[in-house]
Chain A
Amino acid sequence: MAETPAARSVASKDAQLLDPDFLARLEQLEIVSRKIHASRQKGERKSKRKGESAEFADYRNYVVGDDLRHIDWNIYARLDRLFLKLFLEEEDLNVSIIVDVSGSMAHGKPQKGMYAKRVAAAMAYIGLCNYDRVNLCAYNDRVADFRQGMRGRRMMPQIVKFLEEMPIEGKSHFAAAARQFALRQSQKGVVLILSDFMDKGGFEAGFRYLLGRNMDIYVLQILSPEEVNPELAGDLKLVDCEDEDVAEVTISKPLLDKYKANLQAYCESIRSYCMRRGASYYLAITDHPFESLVLNYLRQRGLVR
């Protein structure tokens, strides 16, 4: 699925990635963070900290040294006691989207990589619309490219360009990439990982780096229909597109059954790993329209609102 440079132009790919109608519908959504994260900048999100905003949170007794501006004078007039009126502070949300662009993502009909980019673009747009701080990270065996701190709808073309121009190639090494990402992105927030997790290095180590940062992790595993239901037959020499590894097989029903069971078990292992660590796991098959994935599935499962 190598794309020609000409086809990679922004104009032509813009429509390909996200169409305007869809964008309009995305504007109504926002990314949900189950954790309320502290942020350095004020934003549109509630913070754990009490602060200055329009939203009332609580009262508390006045102690010496409190800011007199926050005393509720109406209460004082009625009860002759001093109370402080507390407001919720609102702050912005760090939304990091990690996209797997290793060679294995170039496979599948529809292509997994394109699917991942689209979902990434959609989620980024949602984030931008909600005035969240959006970080984009593409990786294969390391972090291939990283855009940080994009805010506001005007950043959208930049994000689209970034995604479109990102080549899909190389081996995947999630652990190494996650480590680099965790080093660079020290702020807490929502992390959405888009990958097929066809990674011989395993996935646990990578998650550990992200969990160590106390991030709110969402995992979207993207598989192609060919991977779920391999339409292979006969005596084959299967070549791994990433590392040229070879497996000689004679396709038989027991083998296919075994493969499917293994795939299911693998997905299940990722899911249960995520569950145990408070992360959310979603599975997407690329023949499932991604618009409905974003608008319905992720919504129902609570990633967006």
Chain B
Amino acid sequence: MSFLTWPAALMAASISIPLLLLLYFLKLRRVERTISSTLLWKKAIQDLQVNAPFQKLRKNLLLLLQFLLLLAVLMAIAGPVVNFVRQPERNVVLLIDQSASMRTKEADGRLRIDLAREAARDFVDNLPSGSKAMVVAFSDRAEVVCTFTNDKRRLKDRIDSIEATDAKSRIGEALQLAVAYSSSFVETTGDAGFNPESLQIADIELFGDGRLTDAADEFVTRARMTHHIIGQASDNVGITAYDVRREIDRPGVVSVFAEIQNFGDKPVTLDASLFLDDKLKDVQQVTLGPASIATSRPASDDLLSGRNVLFEPFDHDAGGVLTVKLSRDDSFPLDNVASGPIDPPRALRVLVVADDREIAYMMERVFRDALEINDVTLMGAGNYEDAEESELAVEGRSAFDLVVLSDHDTARLFPGNYIFFGGVPKIDSLTVDGDVEENFFVTWREGHPLLRYVTLDNVYTRKWKRLNLPPHAARLVDGEDSTVMALITDPGHRYLVVAFGLLDTNFRMQPAFPIFMQNAVDYLAGGAVTDSSRLIAPGDTFTVPTPPGAQMMTVVRPDGTEEEVAVEDRHTMTYGRTREIGSYLVKFDDKDKTTETFCANILDATESTIRPNKALTLSGQAIETVSGDVEVNEPLWPWAVGLALVLLLVEWWIYNRRVMI
């Protein structure tokens, strides 16, 4: 038997027992006084007693004691039943969503994270004594807030310390942590010869709105998971995609694109305003229909009623930060703003490395005539290897926005963008394992920006190289059992590796080829105009090439605070504390005072869908749901016992007052 509320009982005892004793002693200590007759006094006492309650009971002290005893027995019976039947001891992992959507303001003005904390605290309060719990807060990363403990106060304190971030919600890491911790917990506390099959991982209690980016990829095994649905608000309009770029053929012109979606139930009309460094440039009115209710799978394509907004392109030759703001005060304001940096325009520079003159000529024609890029440098493979570093690189980076290499493997890879036809970059993670004698491609990713509008149906090749790709490579075109085209993104480098040489294929003759090259320039070299890697999601890291001579990197965070990081790596610096949305201005102390701006935006339809997911599934496995409000079952019996104690004291008092008169 356990006492959930023994301090309260101790307190009640410390009050009631002295009172009882006091009454007892009051009864004993009476001064004897002789009077002429007790006749009238007896009569007076009788008269008072006639009106007193419990007339019959009073005379019978034994009955009163029995009544007390009965009460005690009742209490003893009631308490344990409440404890044992309802709540056996449990080991629980509390997962608390702290992603951006938890900053949603609910109808009562409180944030969703507050509700989640409250629900979690209530849950901890209602845990039977002896239960152990740990707390994990997660957004794009998971963090163990409190390891397994049965100290409810500590658990609640730790829960209170959880704050919402601006990052996405990914549950995967949190689940791994939960499983890892609870497994080791069971192992250390279990018997010596425990059986892994019977191992019960602690119950997982998820507190959040159930909008998880990786819900389709994660699953729970061997543990019972319960989703406590937090929040109700669904009214939200947000920016789900945003891009800022200079037009390739007219670098002085900036165009801004934003995708705005309505996630609420009602159609809305709002103004989207474009600001350049806080100066209003353009306003567009947008009308959006209500969101079709997509509850089961929060995937982007379920959510309709979005609109793309293209702002009026305008001339702007300087750098700056372009911000789009929505003129709407909705429940989730974080996604009503998106910002992106833009650099001063610069003409694209392309380097073509090819020994074959036909290819060199074709490439020059494609770039100059089709893509209207005039600064094209042609170079042989030998020249490329022998060239001075100053020819190829500026400030440690590639001097060219795009380097196209034909049938040449090289290790001279300054940070930049490269396309390899029939060759490979000499990097550790990529090796070539002979040739593949196949003629046609089997699958390709049509939706990828590089292959947009590119038809590969009619492309014929004689052979291609069998590539052993690193795991993070994006495979764009596949043969039967090998990859033909892949995009490898390393810090500072992007390599588009095409496994066949241009001379081995009819690809160069196809209309698709110039389109492919246009996509490649837009996607790879477009970064020179607007580096899309400078638009990051909250929580992502960004990488900045280090200018020579810099000793210190200063990051001005969105809230105005500055953080200084000493430069250690000669080439790049990485910064990861980006969980807040807004602009991160990176300043170096080199002689040119190089600055770079990165912008963190939500730009995530899953986060912007703030309507709580009432039917959460992980990899198709439905998760038991509990409404965040109903779970609280306050045990009432201490109150009842307290009331009984008070009543008893009152009864005692009346008893004494009447009898002893």
A62-95 vs B, CB cutoff 8 Å, 1 = contact: the mask equals 0000000000000000000000000000000000
Please measure, in the bound complex, the distance between the C-alpha atom of A198 and the C-alpha atom of B661, giving whole angstroms. 20
B357 on the interface (CB 8 Å rule)? no
Does B31 lie within 8 Å of A104, measured CB to CB? no
In residues 214-273 of chain A, which contact B (Cβ within 8 Å)? 224, 226-227, 230, 232, 234-242, 245-252, 254-255, 258-259, 262-263, 266
Distance of B648 from chain A, by nearest CB (Å): 20
Does A249 lie within 8 Å of B36, measured CB to CB? no
Distance of B592 from chain A, by nearest CB (Å): 97
Contacts of B35 in A (CB 8 A): 107, 226, 230, 238-241
B48 on the interface (CB 8 Å rule)? yes
Contacts of B40 in A (CB 8 A): 198, 259, 262-263, 266
Please measure, in the bound complex, the distance between the C-alpha atom of A259 and the C-alpha atom of B46, giving whole angstroms. 11
Please measure, in the bound complex, the distance between the C-alpha atom of A250 and the C-alpha atom of B30, giving whole angstroms. 9
Does A255 lie within 8 Å of B48, measured CB to CB? yes
Distance of B274 from chain A, by nearest CB (Å): 85
Please measure, in the bound complex, the distance between the C-alpha atom of A226 and the C-alpha atom of B35, giving whole angstroms. 9
Contacts of B34 in A (CB 8 A): 238-241
Please measure, in the bound complex, the distance between the C-alpha atom of A266 and the C-alpha atom of B33, giving whole angstroms. 23
Contacts of B41 in A (CB 8 A): 238, 247, 249, 259
Does A245 lie within 8 Å of B38, measured CB to CB? yes
Please measure, in the bound complex, the distance between the C-alpha atom of A119 and the C-alpha atom of B646, giving whole angstroms. 58
B44 on the interface (CB 8 Å rule)? yes
Distance of A156 from chain B, by nearest CB (Å): 30
In residues 646-661 of chain B, which contact A (Cβ within 8 Å)? 656-657, 659-661
Does A250 lie within 8 Å of B38, measured CB to CB? no
Contacts of B42 in A (CB 8 A): 245, 247
Distance of B334 from chain A, by nearest CB (Å): 70
Question: Which of B34, B37, B40, B47 has the most CB atoms of chain A within a 10 A radius of its CB?
Answer: B37
B29 on the interface (CB 8 Å rule)? yes
Question: Which of B29, B31, B32, B661 has the most CB atoms of chain A within a 10 A radius of its CB?
Answer: B661
A108 on the interface (CB 8 Å rule)? yes
Contacts of A248 in B (CB 8 A): 30, 659-660
Contacts of B61 in A (CB 8 A): none
A30 on the interface (CB 8 Å rule)? no
Please measure, in the bound complex, the distance between the C-alpha atom of A237 and the C-alpha atom of B659, giving whole angstroms. 12
Please measure, in the bound complex, the distance between the C-alpha atom of A251 and the C-alpha atom of B31, giving whole angstroms. 12
Q: Interface size class for chain B?
A: 20 to 34
Does A200 lie within 8 Å of B39, measured CB to CB? yes
Contacts of A196 in B (CB 8 A): 36-37
Contacts of B39 in A (CB 8 A): 198-200, 240
Given contacts A249-B661, A250-B661, A255-B661, contact A238 B38 (CB under 8 A): yes
Please measure, in the bound complex, the distance between the C-alpha atom of A239 and the C-alpha atom of B39, giving whole angstroms. 11
Please measure, in the bound complex, the distance between the C-alpha atom of A200 and the C-alpha atom of B42, giving whole angstroms. 11
B43 on the interface (CB 8 Å rule)? yes
Please measure, in the bound complex, the distance between the C-alpha atom of A245 and the C-alpha atom of B657, giving whole angstroms. 21
Please measure, in the bound complex, the distance between the C-alpha atom of A237 and the C-alpha atom of B34, giving whole angstroms. 8
Given contacts A250-B657, A250-B661, A259-B41, contact A236 B26 (CB under 8 A): no
Contacts of B43 in A (CB 8 A): 262
Does A224 lie within 8 Å of B26, measured CB to CB? no
Does A240 lie within 8 Å of B37, measured CB to CB? yes
Contacts of B293 in A (CB 8 A): none
B483-522 vs A, CB cutoff 8 Å, 1 = contact: the mask equals 0000000000000000000000000000000000000000
Does B36 lie within 8 Å of A262, measured CB to CB? no
B643 on the interface (CB 8 Å rule)? no
Please measure, in the bound complex, the distance between the C-alpha atom of A224 and the C-alpha atom of B40, giving whole angstroms. 14
Does A236 lie within 8 Å of B33, measured CB to CB? yes
Contacts of A266 in B (CB 8 A): 40
Given contacts A198-B37, A235-B660, A263-B40, contact A247 B32 (CB under 8 A): no
In residues 144-195 of chain A, which contact B (Cβ within 8 Å)? none
B37-70 vs A, CB cutoff 8 Å, 1 = contact: the mask equals 1111111110110000000000000000000000
Q: Which of B26, B33, B44, B659 contacts A239 (CB 8 A)?
A: B33
Does A236 lie within 8 Å of B31, measured CB to CB? yes
Residue of B nearest to A232 (CB): B33
In residues 97-147 of chain B, which contact A (Cβ within 8 Å)? none
Does A258 lie within 8 Å of B47, measured CB to CB? yes
Please measure, in the bound complex, the distance between the C-alpha atom of A196 and the C-alpha atom of B26, giving whole angstroms. 33
Q: Which of A198, A247, A250, A254 contacts B36 (CB 8 A)?
A: A198
Question: Could you pull out 10 A-B pairs where Cβ atoms are within 8 angstroms?
Answer: A108-B36, A227-B36, A237-B31, A238-B33, A246-B38, A248-B659, A255-B45, A255-B661, A258-B47, A263-B40
A residues near B (Cβ < 8 Å) are 103-105, 107-108, 112, 196, 198-200, 224, 226-227, 230, 232, 234-242, 245-252, 254-255, 258-259, 262-263, 266
Apart from A227-B36, A241-B34, list 10 A-B contacts with CB within 8 A: A103-B36, A198-B36, A224-B36, A237-B33, A240-B34, A240-B38, A241-B35, A247-B41, A247-B45, A259-B41
The 4 A-B pairs with the shortest beta carbon distances in the complex, nearest first, are A198-B37, A107-B36, A104-B36, A258-B44
